[in-house]
Structure 1
Amino acid sequence: MRTRRQRFSDSTKRALVDVAERLFTEHGYSATSLDAIVAGADVTKGALYHHFSGKQAIFEAAFERVESRATSGIAHATEGHQDPWLKAQAGLRAFLEAVQEPGYRQIVISDGPSVLGHERYREQEERSTYAIVDEIVRAVLTDTEWDLDDAMLDTFTRIFFGAMSAAGGSVAVSEDASAAALRVEAAIGFILAGLQRLLEDGAEPPDPARTARATSRR
């Protein structure tokens, strides 16, 4: 059982992240000060430094919370779908709903890459939304006659994840996020439908060796 002091410490940390998330969402990283965060949480700056090394560290905590909330929403939306294609569509729709949230737009899309740096940002993504995309892609492609190895499955995942990340970014910065999300859903849905049709028509699976031979004959 956690002690009263530990519970108080946990409560203080949650309050700091609550306030930080709200301020980063409303004002962005650059315009949010540590003074504003501690004032909003009604704690001392010393209490903040007990939990976080500085502004970037508390931003990362807010980032992780927003990403985790988005990932949970996508996972919840895909639960119960036995048909992998319906699961993919539900996951895409949930992702596009997540990127329209003000916190996701500001903290993850707008500020995340510059504050965390490219490598750290990608690490965070791969631990959260990437894992969901990988699960969906593997569900779709392993429920077929194709016998793809892990390297090719990973390639498909990275292609779809890259497309969704870029499309999600365009939705997040759009003046009309709802309309942008509908365009993305229609476009990626069209690609998924094309892939489904290829599989149903018995198309051969992608083969790097065949591609190499065709390239060498050009």
Structure 2
Amino acid sequence: MRSRRLDYSESTRSALVESAVELFTKRGYAGTSLDEIAKRARVTKGALYHHFSGKQALFEAAFDTVESQVFDRLEKIMNGPASPWERALAGLRGFLQSCLDPAYQRIAIHEAPVVMGWERWREAEERCSFGLVRTGIQSLIEVGEVDDVPVDVTARLLFGALSSAAIEIASSPEPKKVSAQVEEVLVRLLVGFRRVPPAEHGKAS
């Protein structure tokens, strides 16, 4: 059986991370203090240091939480009952929808490259999302929806396009408008890879 001490420890850590996500989203990394995070979580600063070595460690936990929420949402879509093509389009739209979320914009896109360093941020992003992109492309090839393109290269290029799209959306004064434009462009890009059935070739000629 789980001990009360373990349950309390986990609930304390969760409260701190939740507090950090909210405050980092509202005020950014530089504008948020550990005192404020502890106060909002209703724990002592000593309890905070029991779980985290400092502000950056707490930020990285907040980053992991935000990224995990996006990953879980996209993984559910990509493993759903729809066809691979429908899942690919739904996954694209799901990712673009996530890019409109204030916490994802502020923490994962704006703050993380600065706080964590570009290389560590990029590695974390790839661990979270690249595998889903690669799996999606592989599935489309296996069912004959798209031509037999190099999977890794195609996934890398598409992942780069999605990362750039996220920055464009998060940096725009009209994020919803930019998100719609990005969706249109990326859907056209995917359609360009789609294999045309022989019957449609005949119609085109």
- Report the TM-score when normalising by structure 2: 0.90
Partner of 2:133: 133
Q: For 1:147-195, what per-residue CA distance to the aligned partner results, in whole angstroms no more than 9, with x for missing partners?
A: 56xxx31111100000011011101111111111100000000111111
Q: In structure 2, do the counterparts of structure 1 residues 180 and 147 end up closer, same or farther at CA, with 3 Å as the change threshold?
A: closer
CA apart distance, 1:111: 0.1
CA apart distance, 1:125: 1.1
Q: Which runs of 5+ in 2 are unaligned?
A: 199-205
Partner of 1:185: 183
Instruction: Provide the C-alpha distance between the structure 1 equivalents of 2:41 and 2:82, rounded to a whole number of angstroms.
Output: 44
CA apart distance, 1:79: 3.5
**Aligned residues: CA RMSD:** 1.6
Name segments (4+ residues, structure 1) moved above 3 Å: 145-148
Code of the residue aligned with 1:194 in structure 2: it is: G
Partner of 2:119: 119
Partner of 1:209: none
Match of 1:200 among 179, 193, 196: 196
Partner of 2:53: 53
Instruction: Provide the C-alpha distance between the structure 1 equivalents of 2:81 and 2:175, rounded to a whole number of angstroms.
Output: 27
Partner of 1:159: 157
Partner of 1:168: 166
Task: Quote the sequence identity (%).
Answer: 43
Q: For 1:59-84, what per-residue CA distance to the aligned partner results, in whole angstroms no more than 9, with x for missing partners?
A: 00010010010111112233334422
Code of the residue aligned with 1:76 in structure 2: it is: K
Instruction: Provide the C-alpha distance between the structure 2 equivalents of 1:133 and 1:38, rounded to a whole number of angstroms.
Output: 37
CA apart distance, 1:200: 2.0
Helix, strand or coil for the counterpart of 1:200?
coil
Partner of 2:201: none
Partner of 2:13: 13
Code of the residue aligned with 2:24 in structure 1: it is: F
Instruction: Provide the C-alpha distance between the structure 2 equivalents of 1:14 and 1:85, rounded to a whole number of angstroms.
Output: 37
CA apart distance, 1:141: 2.3
Q: Which runs of 5+ in 1 are unaligned?
A: 203-218
Code of the residue aligned with 1:163 in structure 2: it is: A
1:89-128 to 2 correspondence within 5 Å? 89-128=89-128
Instruction: Provide the C-alpha distance between the structure 1 equivalents of 2:124 and 2:192, rounded to a whole number of angstroms.
Output: 31
Partner of 1:24: 24
Q: For 1:98-154, what per-residue CA distance to the aligned partner results, in whole angstroms no more than 9, with x for missing partners?
A: 010000000000001111112211221122111211111111123238556xxx311
